[in-house]
Structure 1
Amino acid sequence: MAHPVDKDQGLDVAKKLAQEEAGIGRMPKTGLSRWAVPVVGVCWSLFQLSIASWLILDTWFVRAIHLAFGLLIVYLSFPMFKKPRLGIRALSAKDRIPLIDWVLGIVAALAALYVIIDYQGITQRYGAPIPRDIVVGFTLFILLLEASRRVIGPALSLIAVVFTVYAFFGPYMPDVIAFKGVSLNRFVGQMTMSTEGIYGIPLDVSATIVFLFVLFGAMLEKAGAGSFFIQMALSLLGGFKGGPAKAAVLASGLTGLVSGSSIANIVTTGTFTIPLMKRVGYPARKAAAIEVAASTDGQLAPPIMGAAAFIIAEYVNVPYIDVVKAAAIPAFASYAALLYITHIEASKLGLRGLPRNELPPFFRTFVSGLHYIIPLVMLLYELVVLRHSPEASAFNAIWVIALVMLLQHPVKAYLAKEPLGPAFKQGLADIFSSLAAGARNMVSVAMATAAAGIIVGVVAMGLGGLINQIVDQLSGGNIYLLLIITAFASLIIGMGLPTTATYIVMASLTAPAIVTVGGYYGFEVPLMAAHLFCFFFGILADDTPPVGLAAYAAAAIARSEPIPTGIQGFMYDIRTAILPFMFIFNHDLILHGINSWTQGLLIFAMACLGNFAFASATQGWFITRNRFYEVPLLLGVTVIMMRPDAVAGWVGVPMDQRYWMYAAGLVLFAGIYFLQRLRVGEQAPAAV
């Protein structure tokens, strides 16, 4: 069924969703209000660049100032309600900033800065807050939850309130979930006047690392890198069978470096790729679903894997490059399998690619955007070769992209023999705009990390051990059931939360439990694997029906129905969902204890083949349509390629020779290939 909006309206809907997620809920056109958010945003960006280079501040001060900027921008950018309520139009005004939001924003910022304003007094009376501390702390608590509701939606604020109520009423709960409870003084003191609540590790990562990477992405996007990535992907893959779909996957992976948001990814790449997919014959639902799956997984793409990846590094206490290393094989195997799925769909439908004469020429396209690659190379060099910290690497990449933005217009003007003055002004305007955009893009992450800090703080008050007991009872000591509960909970919670918040909540509640409960029964789970498990399912929640906003954005562009689009996208993403279950048991997939390039490449190649076999089994097609007995054979290939350790144990092969099991998987896969090859001509392409 066609979506009841035309193409332009669909694109407007998708852009509106992206703007709301990026912190652009209100866009005043005149007066002071017009410049308020951009100016505050630029100041926030300059502050973050300062602490990454020359400004040395106590980490608590950095977190407080970061939160204050975020709160102020939220109240200036987002109205209290999306539609008029209570007969008061100011509560939903989008063309101006009403006085009430100015007041709330300033009060919220001052409440966040209170730990700096009275730093000496707070440190002296740590653990024994006075009435003023409680009033200011409670004000910050309430205004933070309201800011989180405005940006993210009610889910995270509601979860934080539930945990807060539980913290106070724990002694009155049933015995199985009873908790000793906390006093008002302890709660407010820990949540708002220590680094174990709102000002905890998640907010610290947001303030010191994530902001710089989000700003880097905003500057790349403003410079024009997003369009360059799309053109490059089309020039490389557009001419192959189902080429626009393959280009969408590649473009979304590259754009994930820029946006860090699945919805922004869809609006950036889907605007071009979805109409092209429909043009070569993909049904609207499948075109949108491919873009959803590709854009959602953009947050998996190393070396920039979204805000949650940096928090993983802090929680697991390892360098960020170790997180990239651990996530590399699952992430790339997932993308390779999605490329394979687009090929399967094209084969089912009997599709071809775009004519080569309609595609951008590769060499000319590559040369025209070479300057966009320089900052990315700089970032990779800093992270991988020099092993600098993420914040130092991002800062150095930012000044490189700033030079690119400043000079690209004058160079073009010089070559075209046009005046240089306006070109330099355009470059400066682009830099100013990107500094403001980077700050706006950060508000959802800042609010998510700060509000999730409330949940982390409640868990730190003594709930951790109780959660382990509850999870152990729910799972009955069965590690498989525990993982299924965790995955299901992540998908449910993630329907209403951004990836970062979903990860923080689930990692606080279940990652330690996975490790601990596994240890109870003699099964070792690396802490990295447990955290990546929560991270992957937090990402998959972005397109989980019926809420997945990514599916709504893509459906608006494709003019398809959102729910069927989300279901189709989720079916494509099943190939990603099996990977966390596999690397929990097969630690080779996260390169745990593996430092050999050849060994790593072997594991990656076999993981890709295993994922291809799983995709064929779930999509019903390999070389041709599967017969019923070929599905278990394909699943067998998946198990052999993903779990050679388990197969080796079943057949009595020593664990140090487990890689020989790959040979059996290759033989079985080849057998299925030749079996289907014999009947290729017997079936026509499936009808849509």
Structure 2
Amino acid sequence: MADEKNEKLAKDVLKKYDKESNAAAHKGLLAKFVSALAIAFSVFQLYTAVFGVLDAQLQRAVHLGFGLALVFLLFPTRRKHGPELHIEDYILAFLGAAAPAYIFIEYQQLVLRAGTVTTMDFAVGAVGLLLVIEATRRVVGIPMLVVVTAFLAYAFAGPYMPGMLAHRGLTPQQLIGHLFFTTEGIFGIPLGVSSTFIFLFILFGAYLESTGLGRFFIDLANAIAGWASGGPAKVAVLSSGLMGTVSGSSVANVVGTGSFTIPMMKKLGYDKEFAGAVEAAASTGGQLMPPVMGAAAFLMAEFVGVPYIDVVKAAIIPAVLYFAGVWLGVHFEAKRKNLKGVPREELPKASVILKERGHLAIPLVVIIYLLVSGYTPMRAALFAIVLSIAASSLRASTRMKPMEVVKGLENGARNILGVLVACASAGIIIGVVTKTGVGLKLASALLELSGGMLLPTMFFTMITALLLGMGVPTTANYVITSTIAAPALVQMGIPVLAAHMFVFYFGIIADVTPPVALAAYAGSAISGGNPLMTGVNASKLAIAAFIIPYVFVLNPVVLMVDATPLALVQTLVTAVIGMIAVSSSLIGFLANDMRMVERLILFAAGIMMIIPGGVTDAAGLAILVACIVFQKRRKNAEAAV
């Protein structure tokens, strides 16, 4: 009964805080049609992955056509009146398929008259642009809609803008021609990545979810960490980190694992706000966890011009430090409150879990091997999809039935819709930026505002990413900040990968940064705690994400850029020790309860060790050791009284 209640709560929370999960549940013939359309979408993507993708604009046009049709069928206009579709939804679904189909049908003619927009071209392009905007409103949300419309307005208002923001201005024909009939607008790199790599990885995640991998991760985390101090909270950290390899959504990750772990944490004695914060911080970090990171990581590989495996390698140490920070925060809070773990005899045995369901993780191991071996992400994902189905068949208890395999195709198509629309709308922003040249102007303005100094430039870039992240999905957030803010860092001599990773991190961590912290709000909805305090606690636990980006910009060795093995080991060891100092200072407990002065000193010592450098490492370590000795002596003295 409790499990059913938790499952219902999880579904309600997901629909409330994750807009793209709030799709209508149709019945009858309409449900069958939508399912068939979604399955056809997945089949098209698999076919092109196996036999070769179409020309860039054709591949992206078919991808967008399927996506828009499904969006208007699954997200009705008047949701408050129920899930039923209305006549306008059917019309928009038809137009959503027809506008991109025009490119497919007229492709040869469009190529021959490149740069010339006929009346028919203009009409179709205008409809297509408006459909993407409406889909953005329905699936992504109002904040993204505001950003997109602001950029479109800027395209026309150029002659009336002040100072460096002024430009010639664009005619409607010029704008439509650029945004809808080139690969620099809606059909640009973001949608290109969505139509190849991202779709296959999302389909891979859908199949892994169908096999029961999520429950396997939770049970395995319970067996490994459930007995420790504050065991359920550590289970949340570990399972959420593992789930990050298959889920690209912070809110979905919170709901998926939090419905199990948050009640366990509350039962153990954690405050409601802290329990929700643990899950929010750990789940948000899932997008930072290699090998399968958030959709923005695939875009980063394209924008920076490096293989995806290089992005994965660069993310390893920062991800380890992030989860070390969350884990340590949980540990010190448990020690401070003297919270014990679950008795070992009440926990499942890791050996039994691995024997019964360990085969479900085989696809993850294989996909890492394939990426490291030089396979393209697309080919690696394709093999992993097939292997996830095959691996589930190794035991009768996990074997997928034929209908479940087909259902996986449908779920994969449904799960891509939010990313697809975000990529299309991000393409509008890129199109306006490239056509008006505003990207370089804003980067120059950022440098001027910071006085040409690196730290202020990084600070303003961080604020920009956090503000955008309060309402804009990570994918679109990364596209905007990498187009506008990252170039400013690059102009100051920062390696391109480090600059892009910087904005990527702060775009993601916005999910736990108050006042708009969707992952924290989802966690508080499950825990019953105060949303704002849950966000504050989550920000404390996620402190590494606010520190590490500065570190790897100042010293790219953290990203494995020009790093020797010795330098990597030294950096990782001292940084983890530094996280001990930082996390304990924020919680207020190390060997004993801390006074405010001790917390400030320890925080400073932790920062000194996280920043690579022999002198700062030694000084920070000396301060940490001195604090531990001092606290233990005080604790013994208090016990003796």
TM over 0.5: yes
| Aligned with residue 28 of structure 1, among 23, 26, 33 | 26
1:13 aligns to what?
12
1:654 aligns to what?
none
Indicate if the aligned counterparts of 1:51 and 1:57 stay in contact, CA closer than 8 A.
yes
1:131 aligns to what?
119
Give the count of matched residue pairs: 634
Deviation at 1:469, TM superposition (A): 2.3
Inter-partner Cα distance in structure 2 for 1:444 and 1:157:
13
Distance 1:592 1:288, change over 3 A: same
2:450 aligns to what?
475
Q: Does 1:533 align with 2:487?
A: no
Comparing 286-295 with 665-674, which one deviates more in the overlay?
Answer: 665-674
Comparing 311-320 with 118-127, which one deviates more in the overlay?
Answer: 118-127
Q: Within 5 Å, give how 1:166-315 maps onto structure 2.
A: 166-315=154-303
| Aligned with residue 347 of structure 2, among 329, 354, 359 | 359
Q: Does 1:509 align with 2:507?
A: no
1:578 aligns to what?
547
Inter-partner Cα distance in structure 1 for 2:328 and 2:580:
7
Q: Within 5 Å, give how 1:98-137 maps onto structure 2.
A: 98-137=86-125
Deviation at 1:427, TM superposition (A): 1.2
Deviation at 1:39, TM superposition (A): 1.5
Distance 1:162 1:412, change over 3 A: closer
Distance 1:115 1:8, change over 3 A: closer
Deviation at 1:682, TM superposition (A): 5.9
1:628-653 CA deviation, whole Å, 9 max, x = no partner?
A: 332343233233322234xxxxxxxx
Inter-partner Cα distance in structure 1 for 2:611 and 2:397:
54
1:483-511 CA deviation, whole Å, 9 max, x = no partner?
A: 22211121111111111111111111111
Inter-partner Cα distance in structure 2 for 1:559 and 1:213:
34
| Aligned with residue 603 of structure 1, among 571, 574, 579 | 571
Q: Does 1:675 align with 2:630?
A: yes
1:391 aligns to what?
378
Inter-partner Cα distance in structure 2 for 1:622 and 1:21:
42
Deviation at 1:274, TM superposition (A): 0.5
Inter-partner Cα distance in structure 2 for 1:106 and 1:165:
27
Inter-partner Cα distance in structure 1 for 2:431 and 2:278:
39
1:644 aligns to what?
612
Inter-partner Cα distance in structure 2 for 1:146 and 1:599:
50
Q: Within 5 Å, give how 1:333-352 maps onto structure 2.
A: 333-352=321-340
Inter-partner Cα distance in structure 2 for 1:578 and 1:39:
47
Indicate if the aligned counterparts of 1:223 and 1:430 stay in contact, CA closer than 8 A.
no
| Aligned with residue 442 of structure 1, among 403, 413, 416 | 416
Q: Within 5 Å, give how 1:27-46 maps onto structure 2.
A: 27-29=25-27, 31-46=28-43
Inter-partner Cα distance in structure 2 for 1:381 and 1:21:
32
Q: Does 1:158 align with 2:126?
A: no
2:314 aligns to what?
326
Inter-partner Cα distance in structure 1 for 2:555 and 2:405:
46
1:166-185 CA deviation, whole Å, 9 max, x = no partner?
A: 11111111124222222222
1:107-139 CA deviation, whole Å, 9 max, x = no partner?
A: 012112222111111111211211111111111
1:550 aligns to what?
519
Q: Within 5 Å, give how 1:554-569 maps onto structure 2.
A: 554-569=523-538
1:416 aligns to what?
none
- Structure 1 segments, 4+ long, off by >6 Å, are none
Give the aligned residue type for 1:438.
G
Inter-partner Cα distance in structure 2 for 1:167 and 1:478:
30
Inter-partner Cα distance in structure 2 for 1:377 and 1:177:
49
1:179-221 CA deviation, whole Å, 9 max, x = no partner?
A: 2222222211110000001111111111110111111111101
Gaps of 5+ in 2: none
Indicate if the aligned counterparts of 1:7 and 1:559 stay in contact, CA closer than 8 A.
no
Distance 1:298 1:159, change over 3 A: same
2:404 aligns to what?
430
SS at structure 2 position matched to 1:430 = helix
Give the aligned residue type for 2:452.
G
Indicate if the aligned counterparts of 2:325 and 2:542 stay in contact, CA closer than 8 A.
no
The RMSD of aligned alpha carbons is 1.9
SS at structure 1 position matched to 2:79 = coil
Give the aligned residue type for 1:476.
G
Distance 1:539 1:56, change over 3 A: closer
Inter-partner Cα distance in structure 2 for 1:242 and 1:683:
25
SS at structure 2 position matched to 1:331 = helix
Deviation at 1:28, TM superposition (A): 1.0
Give the aligned residue type for 1:395.
L
Indicate if the aligned counterparts of 1:19 and 1:25 stay in contact, CA closer than 8 A.
no
| Aligned with residue 441 of structure 2, among 462, 466, 481 | 466
Gaps of 5+ in 1: 1-5, 85-92, 414-422, 519-523, 646-658
Alignment TM-score, normalising by the size of structure 1: 0.89
Deviation at 1:8, TM superposition (A): 6.9
Inter-partner Cα distance in structure 1 for 2:340 and 2:397:
37
Indicate if the aligned counterparts of 1:68 and 1:112 stay in contact, CA closer than 8 A.
yes
Inter-partner Cα distance in structure 1 for 2:232 and 2:560:
33
Inter-partner Cα distance in structure 1 for 2:515 and 2:34:
33
Inter-partner Cα distance in structure 2 for 1:451 and 1:557:
32
1:634 aligns to what?
602
SS at structure 2 position matched to 1:625 = coil
Distance 1:443 1:56, change over 3 A: closer
Distance 1:202 1:12, change over 3 A: closer
Give the aligned residue type for 1:14.
V
Inter-partner Cα distance in structure 2 for 1:44 and 1:408:
28
Indicate if the aligned counterparts of 2:457 and 2:489 stay in contact, CA closer than 8 A.
yes
Inter-partner Cα distance in structure 1 for 2:79 and 2:462:
32
SS at structure 1 position matched to 2:146 = helix
Inter-partner Cα distance in structure 2 for 1:146 and 1:171:
28
Distance 1:19 1:459, change over 3 A: closer
Inter-partner Cα distance in structure 1 for 2:635 and 2:293:
40
Deviation at 1:619, TM superposition (A): 2.5
Indicate if the aligned counterparts of 2:575 and 2:611 stay in contact, CA closer than 8 A.
no
Inter-partner Cα distance in structure 2 for 1:195 and 1:241:
54
Indicate if the aligned counterparts of 2:70 and 2:93 stay in contact, CA closer than 8 A.
yes
1:456-482 CA deviation, whole Å, 9 max, x = no partner?
A: 111111112211222122222232222
Distance 1:330 1:372, change over 3 A: same
Deviation at 1:12, TM superposition (A): 4.1
1:239-262 CA deviation, whole Å, 9 max, x = no partner?
A: 000011011000001111122111
1:261-317 CA deviation, whole Å, 9 max, x = no partner?
A: 111111211111111111111011110110000001111100111100010000000
2:360 aligns to what?
372
Inter-partner Cα distance in structure 2 for 1:448 and 1:63:
14
Indicate if the aligned counterparts of 1:586 and 1:642 stay in contact, CA closer than 8 A.
no
Deviation at 1:236, TM superposition (A): 0.2
Deviation at 1:446, TM superposition (A): 0.3
Q: Does 1:490 align with 2:465?
A: yes
SS at structure 2 position matched to 1:679 = helix
Give the aligned residue type for 2:157.
F
Deviation at 1:81, TM superposition (A): 3.6
Inter-partner Cα distance in structure 2 for 1:668 and 1:644:
16
Inter-partner Cα distance in structure 1 for 2:543 and 2:142:
28
SS at structure 2 position matched to 1:258 = coil
Inter-partner Cα distance in structure 1 for 2:18 and 2:601:
46
1:42-79 CA deviation, whole Å, 9 max, x = no partner?
A: 11111111111114411211111111111111101101
Indicate if the aligned counterparts of 1:467 and 1:509 stay in contact, CA closer than 8 A.
yes
Q: Does 1:52 align with 2:49?
A: yes
